[in-house]
Homo-oligomer: A and B are copies of this chain.
Amino acid sequence: YGKNTIKFLRLHKEGKKHVVKEVEVCAHLRLTSPQEYLEGNNSLVIPTDTIKNIVLVLAKKNGIPSLEQFAIDICNHFMTTFCQVAYVKTYVQEVPWQRLHEDGVPHIHSFICVPDGIRFCEAEQCRNGPLIVFAGIKDLKLMKTTQSGFEGFYKNEHTTLPERHDRILCGEFFCKWSYGECKDFDFNCIWKKIRECILEAFAGPPDCGEYSPSYQKTVNCIQMLVLSRVSQVQVIEVVLNNTFYNVVDMKNLGLTNDKEVLVPVEAPYGSCACTLGRKKFFEA
């Protein structure tokens, strides 16, 4: 297959207000014949330069009402225009520009980049198959300073980890969900709702939180809440790259450290992941 990446800005106005979308688009194509690889016959090959032009033309003509709609537009264009395309996948990722505000007043044309979780989506289609849409958030870093522990795990002669019932839970989340064959969804609205679910399931009630017995259980809580609140989601995958923090032992320095000073532990660097669907359960 071949793929390529294009980054660009799409501007338009809503009344006097400027609206900006900066996106990175990656298109994968697989052709019906591998003759380009085997024979060096390029006659069916769509150059990356052409793919770039198509993506820019579609952005110009259709705008980017949502990342998902734009990804769908690109898939549709390739499937309907090129009969030599057997499979197309489009990945679209957003640069998180947010409108500046001065004393609460939104600015007409100024923006600040706020990367507190990056929105992305994917659309993929095999010839004669359904168009499937995924959406997600990545690089979302969250921390709970209490209400997290890890106890009762498997132990043998290689175990040195002590049990802990009040540790830091911190990590970077990658969440990706599928909408199945999607109809006329309000993708922007659903995405915001899912982001709120993720934060809520991670943190628990604002006044007291909710105890997490493991990274794995927190991953599962996020999945369960999203599936219960957002009916459009078919399957949700969550990957948590966790950062461990150790309470610094200050006995040698004549001090008691009551979880006041902690250092991040670089290794082992852990990760846990789970994919959860509506009816059947996938544990990958």
Residues of A within 8 A of B (CB): 1-12, 18, 20, 30, 34, 36-54, 56-57, 59-61, 81-82, 84, 97, 100-102, 105-117, 140-147, 150-161, 168, 196, 199-200, 202-209, 213-214, 216-217, 219-220, 245, 248, 250, 252-255, 257, 259-264, 266-274, 281, 283-284
Contacts and interface: CB of A to CB of B under 8 A. Distances in A.
A263 B253 contact: no
Nearest to A97: B143
A59 B11 CA distance: 37
A161 B49 contact: yes
A100 B3 contact: no
B217 A264 contact: no
A154 B49 CA distance: 12
Contact of A209 (B9, B108, B152): B108
A252 to B, nearest CB: 5
A59 B209 CA distance: 27
Contacts of A44: 154
A10 B260 contact: yes
Contacts of A209: 107-110
